[in-house]
């Protein structure tokens, strides 16, 4: 169950996203026994996708650190190098 304060924060973020026109779909694939968690985001408008993925990465890294997990992040910037 989500506590009331956290629920209010979620609603606040939803309203901000709606006001900015950001929407999309998240695909979450996980295997607890393998330690696998994979997230794919399809964001609209497309120019918001990079920013949203960077923010998701930061939130996941911070949440991991709260659990005492060391975080190493690798960004595949191969698409940017070709530009």
**Domain edges within the chain:** 19-71
Q: What is the pLDDT of residue 19?
A: 85
* Residue among 83, 12, 9, 15 at smallest CA distance from 50: 83
Average pLDDT over residues 20-40: 93
Please tell me the distance from the alpha carbon of residue 36 to that of residue 30, in angstroms, as a whole number: 5
Phi, psi of 33 (to 5 degrees): -70, -25
Choose among 12, 11, 42, 40: nearest CA to 25. Answer: 42
Read off the pTM: 0.71
Assess whether pLDDT exceeds 80 at residue 2: no
Cα–Cα distance for residue pair 22/12, rounded to 1 Å: 14
């Amino acid at each position: 169950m989500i506590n009331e304060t956290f629920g209010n924060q979620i609603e606040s973020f939803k309203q901000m996203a709606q006001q900015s026109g950001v929407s999309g779909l998240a695909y979450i694939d996980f295997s607890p026994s393998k330690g696998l968690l994979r997230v794919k985001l399809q964001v609209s408008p497309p120019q918001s996708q990079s920013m949203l993925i960077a923010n998701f990465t930061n939130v996941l890294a911070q949440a991991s650190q709260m659990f005492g997990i060391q975080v190493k992040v690798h960004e595949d910037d191969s698409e940017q190098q070709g530009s």
